[in-house]
Structure 1
Amino acid sequence: MKFDLHTHHYRCGHADGNIRDYIEAGISAGLQVIGISDHTPYFGFEEDQAFPNTAMGKSQLADYVQEVLDLKKEYAGKIDVLLGIESDYFPHHAHLYKAALDSYPFDYIIGSVHFSGGYSIFDPTRWDGLSEQEKVATKSEYFRMIGESAKSGMFHILGHIDAMKSRYPEFSDIEAPEALDDMLRTIADSGVAIEVNTSGKIKLCGLWHPIDSMLERAFHFGVEISFGSDSHVPERVGDDFELVASKLREIGYTEWVYYKQKQRQVVAL
């Protein structure tokens, strides 16, 4: 059975196509389940759409939800359309996000850390001039925040947990084994899954999120795995699904999961 829980569309301002385009692409790719998971609004800002090229506006959220629910009914029997969303994790604003998202019937919520230490995780200039010790501290703080997001109880799946390497491939070479293990142990204890996110292949790093060695450690700690293409164009829906499944079997996984009506669904590998 094939599924993809991480897809975006035009409302976020940096993806192409509408929701129907991604559903049709999912059918063409042989998916039985597709999750729509555009970026949450920035609830911690007064503006309706604080960052138009990053996330939808607060006023768009209800229409987004309704459109997915309508398409879920329309495509019933052809493909199972799930209502998801990708939420940022800002500790000081977590209560705002939780209150807003609890108002809607999401099948699942992907929690992603996009900001750490005052910088976007995708900003390569944050590494300029840092000593090796400071680089370890930066990586460790990023992993700590991801672990904290797992403990928050807000999320079912954690998104792209080594996405700092997207535009700074050297991230993977920074040695922070204790921070990595602490994060993965926390995730496992929290009962939250991580996704294998194949969008990293089209970034500067050229690799899925997370890298194979992190998946091996995740298996060691009993972390559950889900799948997301993180597609921002319909053509990438389901991208590398079979390759990811093969890699997970090689590591030792026998199943992976997705969420429907916030309930864990197990799929054999």
Structure 2
Amino acid sequence: MRDFHVHSNYSDGGFLRGMVRAAESAGLEGVGVADHCNVASRGRPESMRSLYGFNLDLTYERRRRGIERLREEFDLEVYDAVEMDYDPRDEDAIDAFLAEANFDYAIGSVHDIGGNNVQVASNFAAMSDAERDAVTDEYFETLIELVESELFDIAAHADLLERTPPLRGRATEEQYRQVAQAFADSRTVPEINAGRALTDAEVVHPSERLLSILREHDVAVTVGTDSHRPSEIPDRADFLADFVAETGLEPVGPAGLE
């Protein structure tokens, strides 16, 4: 069992050593430290980058030195990765940064639509159904652009809207089929993401409906706990191990490790 998606204090997670120690204690063979990064120069993304510290482009070399020391100390693989915020307008900047940094692999995520974080329910509570449907449309259009860009080895939480009550359940089968076809035609693979699986919401990404369509298209998947604290890793890793066993999935590693 390998976990390809955890965060450290180089973005919004726990201390790097503590995250790796927790992964080893959980019996994992490998853990991928994929801290958030946003390289957009526009106003709002730039302010969010400063507020949350999603600036791995400035700190990845220092983190890499830390990862190299931890590889010597702990008996598991420690991967040097990144989770990039994706917006089509930033493709050139993302491409240049990934080429410069040469991570073991890169994760791409769509978190923001129309200036709103899609995980924050209050952003959409006052919207009409038509406005929420428009957000859903734009989310999946952007996700497909992410996949087709071929910039990333993994696409994180491919139906992130399911975390957000005003947007949950609004995706259509046609949208899911378009996403599945994009993955089938790309090197980018979606992940089974356990970031909300053990909460009251019990949300697993991708949802059963999307996962079924991905399997129809023979799309491979990888796995990530999306842990931000050491204490989250063991239970989420156990959940993922049980999930892939029950569903008969055989997760793959990111293409960047091949």
TM normalised by structure 1 equals 0.85
- Contact 2:190–2:221 (CA under 8 A) maintained in structure 1: yes
The one-character-per-residue Cα deviations of 1:173-209 (angstroms, maximum 9, x if unpaired) are 2242211210121012113211111111356633122
- Structure 2: how far apart are the matches of 1:49 and 1:240? 28
**How far apart in 2 are the matches of 1:87 and 1:153?**
13
Q: 1:245 to 1:171 in 2, by over 3 A?
A: farther
Kindly state the Cα deviation for residue 59 of structure 1 after the two structures are TM-superposed: 2.7
Q: Which residue of 1 aligns with 2:58?
A: 59
Counterpart of 2:91, as a letter, is A
Q: What's the counterpart of residue 106 of structure 2?
A: 109
2:79 to 65, 77, 82: 82
Q: Which residue of 2 aligns with 1:267?
A: none
Which residue of 2 is the match for residue 15 of structure 1?
13
Distance in 1 between residues matched to 2:52 and 2:171, nearest whole Å: 33
Structure 1 distance, partners of 2:27, 2:38, is: 31
Q: CA deviation at 1:252?
A: 4.5
Tell me the residue number matched to 1:157: 154
Q: Is the 8 A contact 1:85 1:109 kept in 2?
A: yes
| Residue 9 of structure 2 corresponds to residue 4 of structure 1 | no
SS in 1 for 2:197: helix
**Map of 1:127-166 to 2, 5 A cutoff?**
127-166=124-163
Structure 1 position 173 matched with structure 2 position 169 = yes
Instruction: Using the TM superposition, give the Cα deviation of residue 91 of structure 1 relative to its aligned residue in structure 2, in angstroms.
Output: 1.1
Partner of 2:233: 237
Give the conservation status (yes or no) of the 8 Å contact 1:169–1:205: no
Contact 1:147–1:186 (CA under 8 A) maintained in structure 2: yes
Tell which deviates more after alignment, 38-47 or 137-146: 38-47
Of residues 197, 200, 203 in structure 1, which corresponds to 2:196? 200
Given the alignment, which residue of 203, 215, 218 partners 1:222? 218
Q: Distance in 1 between matches of 2:103 and 2:125?
A: 40
Unaligned runs of 5+ in 2: none
CA distance in 2, matches of 1:121, 1:224: 25
Q: In 1, Cα distance between the equivalents of 2:53 and 2:159? A: 19
Whether the 8 Å contact between 2:39 and 2:93 is mirrored in structure 1 is no
Partner SS for 1:94: helix
Count residues with an aligned counterpart. Answer: 256
Q: Secondary structure at the match of 1:134?
A: helix
8 Å contact 1:196–1:210 — kept in the other structure?
yes
Q: Bigger CA drift: 232-241 or 140-149? A: 232-241
Tell me which of 253, 256, 259 is aligned to 2:254. Answer: 259
Contact 2:121–2:166 (8 Å) recurs in 1:
no
Q: Is the 8 A contact 1:155 1:192 kept in 2?
A: yes
- Measure the CA separation in 2 of the matches of 1:42 and 1:219: 33
Q: SS in structure 1 opposite 2:216?
A: helix
Judge conservation of contact 2:198–2:236 (CA < 8 Å) in 1.
Answer: no
Partner of 1:27: 24
Amino acid in structure 2 at the alignment position of 1:169: P
1:169/1:50 Cα in 2 relative to 1: closer, same or farther (>3 Å)?
closer
2:98 and 2:194 mapped to 1: Cα distance? Answer: 26
Whole-angstrom distance in 2 between the partners of 1:66 and 1:175? 42
Compute the RMSD of aligned alpha carbons: 2.4
The amino acid that maps onto 1:66 is R
Distance change >3 Å, CA 188–CA 211, structure 1 → 2: same
Match of 2:208 in 1: 212
Q: 2:90 and 2:57 mapped to 1: Cα distance? A: 15
- Percent identity between the aligned chains? 26
CA deviations on 1:94-134 (whole Å, 9 max, x unpaired) are 21121112112311101011111221112223323433333
The alignment status of 1:121 with 2:118, answered yes or no, reads: yes
The answer on whether the counterparts of 1:225 and 1:256 sit within 8 Å (CA) in structure 2 is: yes
